[in-house]
Structure 1
Amino acid sequence: MKLIAIGDNVVDYYKDRGEIFPGGNALNVAVLGKRYQADVSSYIGIIGNDQAADHVRQTLLLEKIDISRLRQAIGPNGEAIVSLNADGDRVFVGSNKGGVQAYMGLRLTDDDKAYIARHELLHTSIYSNLEHELPELHKAIRISFDFSTRWTPAYLERVCPYVDYGFFSGSDLTEDECHQLIQQVHRLGTKVVGVTRGAQGAIFSEAGKLYRQEIVPTEVVDTLGAGDSFIAMFLMKYHPDGDMQAALRQASVAAAQTCGHYGAFGYGVPKVG
């Protein structure tokens, strides 16, 4: 499968360890999708020109991600400051609001759009500021979208008609609230909707048919990136053949494995300065 991820990238700064790890939902899905056997995995986003940006770029090259359309600008790369509680759960305690990508905004050219259309599946997120491009992109490619925890009814109405796979973080939602959200997103046009709920597992729906997936027990070191691992593995296994139950099982295993190490996919280095 040919996967492309567009949008957010950051480094996650583990203050207690003095290390930065490459991250961001779109970037994580690109890297993890490649690890999970994508034939091609590409990434489009904007990096800065600091140590963090250099680390992100070198990591993408090491992971054999196509970055031929990566943009670079003068300024700080996105950075999130992360702390961990006693259970290994991630706690974001600060950020630089996305760095250069947030205040510049990603603009796609006609050549970019032709390049994107050569892929089979596009993944992006609520942190990527790509909403204005979705109506046109959806004419050429299937779209996966991570809404995280930040959706509103108006935002769903704007985005869901152009999304094939919608992912939500719902640890704070009741089961009834999850069902209501899933039904609303389906009504707006999204065929596959998933709500991941941390230790409570996940609830997914394919055109109204519900599926549940329990977590895979594991020794937790760090939960950061587990949700992105779940998304990446689910897309890699479900999109080619539509086997929901098999895709959810393997996605749960991938999320558990990610909890066993620091960072979404490793590559921690000391932060300079």
Structure 2
Amino acid sequence: MRLIAVGDNVVDYYDDRQEMFPGGNALNVAVFWKRYGVEEVSYIGIIGNDEEGEHIINSLQVEDIDVSQVRRAFGPSGEAVVTLDEHGDRIFVGSNKGGIQKHLKLNFTKEDLESIGTYSLLHTSVFSHIEKELPILKKYVNISFDFSTIHDDDYLQLVCPHVKFAIFSGGDLSASECEALIKKVHAEGTPNVIVTRGSEGSLFSDGKQVFTQGIVETEVVDTLGAGDTFVAVFLKEYIVNGNAQEAMEKGAAAAAETCQRFGAFGHGKKRARKIVLC
């Protein structure tokens, strides 16, 4: 199996630990695919020419991710600052809005598209800013798209007709709101919908049935990256076996494992605090 992730990357700077970890939705999914048994995984994204960018690239290479199509740009890599709230939970307190990524866009050559067409699935996200490329990309490959918490009507109409899997973070939604969202996304043209709900578990709909999955209890060190882990493992298992409930169970178990370490997938590196715009 060959899978490719395209788009956003950051370093998550843990203020309390003075330590940075590579992350970002598309990048995390690529790493977790590889860790959970996908034979060949590639990542395409824009990364700055700074210390943070070098750490991202080095971490991907250690994870055996193909980074031959990564674009290196003159400017800062994306960075988010993470700290602890009064309950000990991690919260995002600021970012540089993607760094150099917010000034540039990913363009795909004919050669890029032909290469992308050899993969079983392309994963990207709302933070990758390639919505206008989706009509072209879908001619070459099936697409999974992480909307995060964005689900306004205009955006759904823009993206949903072009993707096979739509993924949402629904921790702030009630059960009835999740049900309504799933129906709306199907109506806009996406056949498969995933909603992660934090401690409430997750939902998956194939348009015929809605499957539910609870969380796997574990000793929690850090929840960052748990949702991306679930999504990556679910997609891989569902594509291979087509068994939704089994894929959800394996995704939940993998997400629990991610909660046992700092950073989405580790690779922490000490670094002094920098000024990051909010």
After superposition, where does 1:221-236 map in structure 2 within 5 Å? 221-236=221-236
Residue 115 of structure 1: CA displacement? 1.1
Q: Deviations over 1:173-230 (max 9, x none)?
A: 0111000000000111111101111011111111131111000001111100000000
How far did residue 102 of structure 1 move? Answer: 1.5
Q: 1:269 maps to which residue?
A: 269
CA contact (8 A) 1:183 1:208 kept: no
The separation in 1 between residues aligned to 2:211 and 2:195, in whole angstroms, is 11
Amino acid at match of 1:65: I
Give the CA deviation at 1:265. Answer: 0.3
SS in 1 for 2:221: coil
Quote the Cα distance in structure 2 between the aligned partners of 1:136 and 1:73: 24
> d(CA) in 2 for partners of 1:123 and 1:86?
34
Per-residue deviation, 1:89: 3.2
Number of the residue aligned with 2:56: 56
With 40-49 and 77-86 compared, the bigger mean Cα shift is at 77-86
Q: What's the counterpart of residue 123 of structure 2?
A: 123
**AA paired with 2:187?**
R
Query: Which deviations, in whole Å up to 9, do the C-alpha atoms of 1:7-41 show, x marking residues without a partner?
Result: 00000000110000000000000111011111110
1:46-66 deviations in whole A, cap 9, x for unaligned? 100111000000011111101
Counterparts of 2:113 and 2:142, CA distance in 1? 13
Matches within 5 A, 1:1-12: 1-12=1-12
Distance 1:116 1:49 in 2: 25
TM-score, normalising length: structure 2: 0.96
Partner of 1:110: 110
1:28 aligns with 2:28: yes
Q: How does 1:1-273 map to 2 (within 5 A)?
A: 1-85=1-85, 88-272=88-272
Residue type of the alignment partner of 1:8:
D
Task: Give 1:151 shift.
Answer: 2.7
- The one-letter amino acid of 1:39's match is E
What is the Cα deviation at residue 86 of structure 1?
Answer: 5.5
- Taking the aligned partners of 2:10 and 2:24, their CA distance within structure 1 comes to 5
3-state DSSP of counterpart to 1:127: helix
Judged with a 3 Å threshold, the aligned counterparts in structure 2 of structure 1 residues 151 and 103 are, in CA distance, closer, same or farther, namely farther
Aligned equivalents of 2:206, 2:271: Cα separation in 1: 43
How far does the alpha carbon of each residue in 1:59-106 deviate from its partner, in whole angstroms, 9 at most, with x for none? Answer: 111111011110001110000000133555331000000011111111
CA contact (8 A) 1:148 1:167 kept: yes
Q: Distance in 1 between matches of 2:53 and 2:252?
A: 30
How far 1:240 moved relative to its partner?
A: 1.6
Aligned-partner residue type, residue 265 of structure 1: F
Q: What is the deviation of 1:241?
A: 2.1
Extract unaligned runs of 5+ from structure 2: none
10 and 158 in structure 1: CA distance in 2 versus 1, 3 angstrom threshold: same
TM-score under structure 1 normalisation?
0.98
Percent identical residues? 54
The Cα of 1:119 is off from its aligned counterpart by 0.8
**Which secondary structure state, in structure 2, belongs to the residue aligned with residue 33 of structure 1?**
helix
2-structure distance, mates of 1:88, 1:197: 19
